[in-house]
Amino acid sequence: MAKKIKKNTAPPVQKYRFWIQIFFALLTIWIGVQFHYFVRWLESGGAADFVNRPPGAEAFLPISSLMSLYYFLQTGEIHHVHPAGLFIFVAIISISLIFGKSFCSWVCPIGFLSELIGDSGEKIYKKIFKKKFVMPELLDYPLRSLKYLLLGFFAYSIFVMSASELNKFLNSPYNIVADIKLYYFFAEISGFSLTVIAVLFILSIIIRNFWCRYLCPYGALLGILSIFSPVKIKRKESTCIDCGLCYTACPSNIKVDKVKTVISDECTTCLNCVDACPVADTLVVETAFPKKKKLDKKYIGYGILAIYFLVTSIGYISGNWHNDVPEKTYLELYRSLNSIDHTTD
């Protein structure tokens, strides 16, 4: 007997996700512009009108932020250098523990750019070969391990450090000007670095989310944390019509149509699969506790925004947002910027 199908009429959530991605992309651009003018002030030797260094720039210093978190766990103190990074990092971890690896598909500007590139590449590939490209498992699994090896290297390097060693590094000139060095890496990019970025760009056209899937250690950490998330995508077998549209829609090539619960370190809670399902209440977002309950998918976006701004607001209200590095210190360190490296005391 054919299954009675109740059509899925729930509005797709992708437009909400897109506008949240746009919001964070614009926020990133605004931070970048403000940081540019802060560097211009440094370049002038303090002669130009002073522009505050935007604390949001610390979002691009995840290693320093992880060290700050580990220092806080050891001492109970919030380190005064790049304190905003600690709160941004905690916000991202909190999002991942509650809503899975959703940071990558709702917030991260690199993930957003990678998605745009991947969408274009996938359309071209489908037009030529009439199907989407899927990396063979024989290559996919070893390549995916690369980001975990990178994560393991960074984690081991940090977690063997004592509180005093962490404090010494966090106070070091290198850590103080790490964001400025990162700025110049892109502002005065070398031919080799530009070639590497170009290769990654091309690979991202051919292989969707190449950087995110195979090389991003941040994504590896969030993928591990996402396993513990109480919010999961569930498939109701009794109403599933085995159309495979959920698998086709999944940018991470997860076999959603073959499992009851999507438990994967590659699932970014983008909800493309839920939107693609043609049968009502067959693919749903469900909470595991305090009790099993269907969750309206649009609340994922609201929840992500609420957690992010709640945690970062705590940092701002508590006075642990702007670092307390004096302007004079920045000017002195800038004059010797090229001689400062990770070995500098």
Residue 133 or 259, more confident: 259
Percent of the chain surpassing pLDDT 70: 98
Residue 128 or 24, more confident: 24
76-to-67, 92, 132, 327 alpha-carbon distances in Å: 13, 20, 49, 27
Residue 5 belongs to a domain: no
pLDDT of 133 > 90? The answer is no
Residue 345 belongs to a domain: no
Sign of the Cα pseudo-torsion (84, 86, 88, 94, in order): negative
Residue 114 belongs to a domain: yes
What's the pLDDT band for 3 if we cut at 50, 70, 90?
low
CA distance 117 to 203: 10
Residue 3 belongs to a domain: no
Sign of the Cα pseudo-torsion (272, 206, 114, 226, in order): positive
Q: Which helix (H) or strand (E) is 63 found in, with range?
A: helix 62-75
Sign of the Cα pseudo-torsion (209, 222, 298, 59, in order): negative
What's the pLDDT band for 344 if we cut at 50, 70, 90?
low
What's the pLDDT band for 127 if we cut at 50, 70, 90?
confident
Residue 257 contacts residue 244 (beta carbons within 8 Å): yes
Reference 325, options 63, 79, 73; nearest CA is: 79
CA distance 212 to 194: 18
Mean pLDDT score, 335-344: 82
Reference 214, options 125, 278, 270, 143; nearest CA is: 143
The number of folded domains in the chain is: 1
Mean pLDDT score, 284-304: 90
Residue 135, pLDDT score: 87
Residue 6, pLDDT score: 86
SS (H, E, C) 243-284: CCHHHHHCCCCCCHHHCCECCCCCCCCCCHHHHHCCECCCEE
CA distance 204 to 110: 12
Q: Cis before residue 109, ω within 30 degrees of 0?
A: no
pLDDT of 7 > 50? The answer is yes
Mean pLDDT score, 109-121: 91
pLDDT of 1 > 50? The answer is no
CA distance 164 to 170: 10
Q: Which of 123-127, 159-163, 198-202: highest mean pLDDT? A: 159-163
CA distance 63 to 175: 10
Domain that holds residue 96: 14-339
Residue 61 belongs to a domain: yes
Residue 254, pLDDT score: 95
The set of residues, in sequence order, having a beta carbon less than 8 Å from that of 120 and lying 6+ positions away, is 205
Phi/psi-derived region of residue 46, left when phi > 0, alpha when psi is between -120 and 50, beta in every other case: left
Helices and strands: H and E segment counts in the chain: 16, 3
What's the pLDDT band for 345 if we cut at 50, 70, 90?
low
Residue 9 belongs to a domain: no
